[in-house]
A and B are shown apart, each in its own frame.
Chain A
Amino acid sequence: MKTSTVVLTVLGSLWILAITVGMFILMRYAHTPSLAKTSGDQWPSHSQITLSKTAPTLIMFAHPHCACTRASIAELGKLVVHCKIKPKSYVLFLSPTSMPSDWEKTDLWHAANSVPGATVLSDINGVEAQKFNSYTSGQTIIYNTKGKLIFSGGITGARGQEGDNLGLNSAILSLQENSSKNQTASVFGCSLISSNSK
């Protein structure tokens, strides 16, 4: 075997390996959920958002600049469309006072506005998120009319990936059954709070 062939074979193998490792890392990152805490079982009384008495109340917390949240909003749209019981939906975008005004008014804001029945609100300094114990963009919580938490988690299968996933199915299921059973799912998204705040 020629030296050049050997060199090429070695190089080719290393090349394949490097790419495989890289892709693996990338895949792993994509499928690794963010830090998520379960919201309280009962609707926090000090929330500025009013619990609906006629339909479950769904709140998605979103970071206006998180690329992964695009998929979450898209999945929210599917959820709203496909569920027979339409929840009262809110999308709360983090709006730090330290950032320029309208910092939260990104394309995601506009995408959320296009979700049927969804109310898009600015969450000043993430106060509401903290009330619901939500720290990851894309985290979605659903309370029934009685103020009981029936779902908490992400509605995408991986970072920024649309499509059938366990979180979305759980959310739909919890809405359809209007159960009181608390469902949870991994959340894939950016953190709503900085590391220093954690």
Chain B
Amino acid sequence: MSEVNAPVIEDESLRSRTQSLFIAQQEQAHRNTDKLFAGLMIFQWLAAIITAVWVSPRAWEGTVSTVHIHVWAALIIGGAITVFPVALALLKPGKAITRYVISISQMLMSALLIHLSGGRIETHFHIFGSLALLAFYRDWKVLLTASAVVAIDHAVRGLFWPQSVYGVLTVEPWRWLEHAGWVVFEDFFLIISIKQSLKSTWDISSRQAKLERMNEIIEAKVVERTAELQVEINERKEAEKALARSNIQLTETYVELEQSRDQAIRASRFKSEFLANMSHEIRTPLNAIVGLSDLLVRTTQLTDEQKEFGTIINDSADVLLNLVNDILDYSKIEAGKLELEVTEFDLVELIEGIAELVAQKARSKQLSLVTFIDPTIPRILRGDPGRIRQVLLNLLSNSIKFTDRGEILMRVELISTADDHRVELRFSVSDTGIGLNDSTKEMLFQPFMQVDASATRKYGGTGLGLVISKRLVELMGGNIECESVYGKGSVFGFSAKLEIGPAEQTPVIGPLPDDLRDSRILVIDGPIGTQQILNTYISSWGMRCGHATDIEKASLMIKYESAANDPFDLVFFVLDPSNEEPAEILAALDKDLSPIKPRLVIIGSCADRSFGKQVMERGFAAYLPIPIKQSRLFDCLIGLLGKHIFASDTGENVVPDDQITLPVSQARNLILVVEDNVVNQKVALLQLRELGFPAHAVSNGREALEAVARTEYALILMDCQMPEMDGLQATKAIRKMETKTGKHSLIIAMTANAMSSDRLDCLAAGMDDYMSKPVNQKKLAEVLQRWLPASMQHGSTTSVADTAKVNSTTENAIEIETLFTTYGDKAGKELLESFQADAEHLLQNMASAVKQKDIFTLNDNIHQLKGSSASVYATELAKLSRAFEQAAAGDVYNWELFNEHLHAIEAAFHNTKSISQKALKAKESKIN
């Protein structure tokens, strides 16, 4: 831009842009100034008109006037001056012609105004003001144009009408130059100002161009970054979409998993219910088998063999029960709900009891079954004997199953004793069976796996036993392992950590009397395992044990040692179970060892149960069946070496089992049996009778409620699953009734539902304890002992038979036949006797209470009499007692009336007693 003295911009594009901006700014200034002048000129025009109208509105001739020429001049000439530039300003704003015309017209307008104002000097300032305004165009040419108009005007008017311009009559011809000079003088400053303004505009344009350049760069960056961000946003959106898809898939998967879980839970529940139902259905008949076989053995007159058979039935039922438990256990294990019990147990009893259970089976296969318990192990331990038994029975069962000849040895050895009063034991079962190869070992502990399909057909079994055993052992903190040589046999063993029980409760085998110490024992023949065990046991009791491999050597040893004054005190001959001719062996022994026959004990596992009798008949000292029990062996030693009479002919009864007996109870110990199964009901009543407890039986919960409302029971044995009203509902109803009376009946669940949840359900319903079926007498006795007060278990049996007189004529004071039908003859008789004693005592108390006007004692005794009368079907007495109780329950105590009630009750009691005596005598004579 030539008019602008601005620094040179080297950048062509920047310079070009600066110039564009500059021109644009100029154009904008021109447009704005055009608009300004358009308005100004219109204003000037109007001002000229107003001025003319104001100053010289009219021209006069005397009294006549016309419009003054100045008004017309202002209107027409002023309009001519104004219209054209204003039109250009509106039609061609910013154009050069517009501003030049404006500059000319503005100067003309000055001339007109000066003229109209009468040439006033003040009006001349319009010219200078207009020039200043024209400078707004920032175009010096505009100023020059305007100045030229001024100069021409002055020149022309100076020439023709100088006074109108200069105010004087005579002027020099170049006077206009003076006026023009003043205008130029102003133009000079205005042009300087224009130059500066243009420079500023140029600078602003330059800065704006640079700013635009910067903006372009920034915008380019922004666009670039935006594009990048867009890519990122697109990627993020894609990722979000992918995430959303994943979420949907996850949600679907979650829903499917929930459905699967729900199905699994339902399936598990169905399975558990099925197992529980199955367990219940199996346990119900098993209960009868266990209970009746137990009673059969214990309470009836049987031969030894019959007792043994009964015992085996009982034990087998237990085994069957264990099988049921296996299935339940597997289910519990799979569900992770199996819980171990911690209870005290006798290790020796446990192990030997296990051996007893499978002994018959071993004998039937002519296998030698031997147990060995390390004598250093404390006998009383704390743990879960049931689970140990379960594992060992499984292992033994397998060993017997897969062993055709030889020996099965069950050992318990001490691994370590910890400081925390715990021992780690190793249980093992070794056999001489078919053994396992390496490939089949791996399959052993897989569920439902057996060595091969033919094994299943040949040996049976479900394949669950070892799996359950493995899990049980792991729960007990141990590991199960298997060592086996194909064709030679296997050893299955596991370790378990158990707490040591109280030392004072530990039964002790031994010690031997001093005179028996150092006795010499000779063991002849037999499997190696049996020999070792005998040797270990005998040595542990302080005796000396020798060994001979056959009868011939034994004979020589006996003779030799006798000659050496150190004879064998006792000789054990271990009869090989596989020997098919045991009678010949006995004959050989009879012949070769005849001198020591009274001290020769035969140990064997002959399947023929009459073999023991044969042994004794041949004059041998004793017969000990395999498996050898520690206690039996010890007793045998004591008996023979100590010259005691060894009474048993089989040895199996050398140490008879403890009989669990309880004293005969009184009538107030009445127990209610709630059981829908008739057989089980009968079993429970018989068991209770044997334990000395009178009992009622009802068939469902509804009847139980009625019975409880009618009679006070010391304890209620409640089955759970019953028709009409089950045991849980009945218990809840009883507890609800008791909230009014404040009493609490003992309720013991007796159910075939063996799941742990069933136990919780029973306790939640308000029961006090829980027994799973089958319930044997021992278990029942334990529960009764636990819950019933000692006074009830050891009640008085004092007879009151001769204290009453029969003075009543009422024959139906007691339903004697119903009593005996309900309780049986024996229990009924005992109950009746107990009732008589009790009632008499209660009557005495009542008489004393009436005498002393002690309403509380009276009420208590009436209530007891009412209950006990009802329990023995002494209906009249019960009725009178109830009436008395109601009379005594009122707010007014009429002691005379009470006395009358008392006399009536005493009379009824004597009548009842008389009838009872007769009935009892009749029963006794019938029994005898």
Interface residues of A (CB under 8 A from B): 8, 11-12, 15-16, 18-19, 22-23, 26-27, 29-31, 63, 65-68, 70-71, 94, 96, 98-99, 126, 137, 157-158, 160-166, 169, 190-195, 197
Chain B residues closer than 8 Å to A15, beta-carbon distance: 80, 84, 101
The stretch of B134-142, B155-163, B757-765 that contacts the partner chain: B155-163
Task: Assess whether B56 is interfacial by the CB under 8 Å rule.
Answer: yes
B69 & A194 in contact (Cβ 8 Å cutoff): no
Interface string of B95-133 (1 = CB under 8 A from A): 001000100100010011001001100000000000000
Whether A193 and B115, one on each chain, are in contact in the complex, defined by CB atoms closer than 8 angstroms, is no
Look across to chain B and name the residue whose beta carbon is closest to the beta carbon of A198. B61
Provide the residues of chain B in CB contact with A22, threshold 8 Å: 73, 76-77, 80
Interface residues on B, range: 35 or more
B108 and A19 within 8 A (CB) = yes
Contact string against A for B residues 69-81, beta-carbon threshold 8 Å, 1 for contact and 0 otherwise = 1100100110011
Given A19-B80, A22-B77, A22-B80 in contact, is the A94-B112 Cβ separation under 8 Å?
A: no
CB-CB < 8 A to A65: which residues of B? 58, 60, 65
- The listed residue with most A CB atoms (<10 A of its CB), out of B62, B97, B164, is B62
- Give Cα A152 to B64, complex, Å: 25
CB < 8 Å neighbour of B63 from A71, A98, A165: A98
Q: Which of A31, A192, A195 is the one whose CB lies under 8 Å from B161?
A: A31
B229 cross-chain contacts in A, Cβ below 8 A: none
The interface bits of chain B over 240-272 (1 if a CB of A lies within 8 angstroms of the residue's CB, else 0) are 000000000000000000000000000000000
CA distance A137 to B73 in the complex (A): 22
Q: Does B62 contact A166, Cβ atoms closer than 8 Å?
A: no
Given contacts A11-B84, A26-B77, A190-B59, contact A161 B118 (CB under 8 A): yes
Query: Could you list 29 A-B pairs, sorted by A, with CB under 8 Å?
Result: A8-B97, A12-B97, A12-B101, A15-B80, A19-B108, A22-B76, A22-B80, A23-B111, A23-B115, A27-B115, A27-B164, A29-B69, A30-B115, A31-B161, A63-B60, A65-B65, A67-B59, A67-B68, A67-B70, A94-B62, A161-B118, A163-B168, A164-B169, A165-B163, A165-B169, A190-B60, A194-B62, A194-B63, A195-B61
Given A94-B62, A162-B118, A194-B63, does the pair A27, B167 have CB atoms closer than 8 Å? no
Decide if B55 is an interface residue (CB 8 Å cutoff): yes
How many Å from the CB of B121 to the closest CB on chain A?
A: 9
Q: How far is the CB of B668 from chain A (nearest CB, A)?
A: 139
Which B residues fall within an 8 A CB radius of A?
Answer: 55-65, 68-70, 73, 76-77, 80-81, 84, 97, 101, 104, 108, 111-112, 115, 118-119, 157, 160-161, 163-164, 167-169
Contact B167 A163 (CB under 8 A): yes
A163: contacting residue among B55, B64, B160, B163, CB under 8 A = B163
C-alpha spacing A66/B61, complex, angstroms: 9
Report yes or no: A162 in contact with B167, Cβ–Cβ below 8 A: yes
The docked-state distance in angstroms from the alpha carbon of A11 to that of B87 is 12
Taking the nearest CB of chain A, how far is it from the CB of B655, in angstroms?
145
Q: Are A161 and B77 in contact (CB under 8 A)?
A: no
The answer to whether B164 and A99 touch across the interface, beta carbons within 8 angstroms, is no
* Most chain A beta carbons < 10 A, residue from B55, B57, B80, B81: B80
- In the complex, the answer to whether A66 meets B60 with C-beta atoms within 8 Å is yes
Nearest Cβ on chain B to A7's Cβ, whole angstroms: 11
Are B112 and A194 within 8 A (Cβ)? no
CB nearest to B81 among chain A residues: A19
User: How far in angstroms is the closest Cβ of chain A from B726?
Assistant: 117
The closest CB in chain A to the CB of B74 belongs to A26
**B167 close to A164 (CB less than 8 A):** yes
Q: Tell me the minimal C-beta distance from A102 to chain B in angstroms.
A: 14
CB distance from A146 to the nearest CB of B (A): 30
B61–A161 CB distance below 8 A: no
CA distance A164 to B119 in the complex (A): 12
The 8 Å CB contact of B62, one of A67, A68, A157, A191, is A191
Give Cα A191 to B63, complex, Å.
9
* B164 CB contacts on chain A under 8 angstroms: 27, 30-31, 157-158, 161
Separation of A195 and B62 alpha carbons in the complex (Å): 8
Distance in angstroms from B541 CB to nearest chain A CB is 146
Is there contact, CB below 8 Å, between A157 and B60? no
Q: CA separation between A4 and B580, bound complex, in Å?
A: 149
Determine which of A70, A98, A161, A195 lies in contact with B163 in the assembled complex, contact meaning CB atoms within 8 Å: A161
Closest 8 CB pairs of A and B: A67-B56, A163-B167, A194-B62, A22-B77, A190-B60, A157-B163, A191-B61, A164-B168
Q: Is B62 in contact with A162, judged by CB distance below 8 angstroms? A: no
Q: Which residues of A contact B76 (CB under 8 A)?
A: 22
B617: min CB distance to chain A, Å: 160
Q: Give the residues in chain B near A30, CB-CB below 8 Å.
A: 115, 161, 164
Nearest chain A residue, comparing its CB with the CB of B87: A11
12 additional contacts (CB under 8 A) given A26-B69, A99-B63, A163-B168: A18-B80, A19-B77, A22-B73, A27-B115, A30-B115, A30-B164, A63-B62, A65-B58, A67-B57, A157-B163, A164-B169, A165-B163
Chain A: CB-nearest residue to B104:
A16
> What residues on A are CB-neighbors of B68 within 8 Å?
67
A157 to B76, CA, bound (A): 25
Contacts of A8 in B (CB 8 A): 97
- Counting chain A CB atoms within 10 Å of each CB, the highest count among B68, B118, B157, B164 belongs to B118
* Chain A proximity of B603: nearest CB distance (Å): 147
Known: A19-B108, A29-B69, A162-B167. A194 touches B64 (CB 8 A): yes
How far is B63's CA from A197's CA once the two chains are assembled, in angstroms? 11
Bound-complex Cα distance A165 to B115 (A): 16
State in angstroms the CA–CA spacing of A131 and B104 once bound together: 51
Chain A: minimal CB distance from B412 (Å): 130
Q: What are the residues of chain A within 8 A of B59 when measuring CB–CB?
A: 66-67, 190
Report B-chain residues with C-beta under 8 Å of the C-beta of A99.
Answer: 63
Q: How far is the CA of A162 from the CA of B117 in the complex (A)?
A: 10
List chain B residues, Cβ under 8 A from A94.
Answer: 62
Q: Contact at A158–B62, with CB atoms within 8 Å? A: no
Of all chain A residues, the one with the shortest Cβ separation from B69 is A29
A116 → B minimal CB distance (Å) = 22
Establish whether residues B60 and A163, one from each chain, have CB atoms under 8 Å apart when the complex forms.
Answer: no
Query: In the complex the two chains form, what is the Cα distance from A162 to B81 in whole Å?
Result: 26
Chain A residues within an 8 Å CB radius of B119: 161-163
A70–B80 CB distance below 8 A: no
CB distance B161 to A158 under 8 Å? yes
Are the CB atoms of B64 and A195 closer together than 8 Å?
yes
User: Judging by beta carbons under 8 Å apart, are B157 and A27 in contact?
Assistant: yes
CB of A13, distance to nearest CB on chain B (Å): 11
Which A residues are CB-close (under 8 A) to B58? 65
B63: A residues at CB distance < 8 A: 96, 98-99, 194
**Chain B nearest CB, measured from A119 CB (Å):** 23
**Chain B minimum-CB-distance residue to A16:** B104
Minimal beta-carbon separation of A65 from chain B (angstroms) = 5
CA distance A190 to B59 in the complex (A): 6
Instruction: Tell me which residues across on chain B come within 8 A of A192, comparing CB atoms.
Output: 62
Of A26, A63, A70, chain B has the most CB atoms within 10 Å of the CB of A26
CB distance from B110 to the nearest CB of A (A): 12
- Out of B101, B118, B157, which one reaches A70, CB within 8 Å? B118
Q: How far, in Å, is B128 (CB) from chain A's closest CB?
A: 20
Closest chain B residue to A8, Cβ basis:
B97
Give the residue among A29, A96, A164, A165 with the most B Cβ atoms within 10 A. Answer: A164
B622 CB, nearest partner CB in chain A, Å: 154
Chain A residues within 8 Å of B112, by CB:
23
> In the bound complex, how far is the Cα of B76 from the Cα of A137, in angstroms?
27
| Distance between Cα atoms of A11 and B169 in the complex (Å) | 36
Contacts of A164 in B (CB 8 A): 163, 167-169
A133 smallest CB distance to B (angstroms)? 16
Look across to chain A and name the residue whose beta carbon is closest to the beta carbon of B101.
A12
Give the one of B57, B59, B69 with max A CB within 10 A: B59
A86 to B748, CA, bound (A): 160
> What chain A residues lie within 8 Å of B101 (beta carbons)?
12, 15
Q: Do A27 and B161 touch (CB < 8 A)?
A: yes
Nearest residue in A to B98 (C-beta to C-beta)?
Answer: A8
Contact A160 B56, CB 8 Å, known A22-B80, A30-B164, A165-B169: yes
How far is A99 from B96 in the complex, measured between Cα atoms in Å? 56
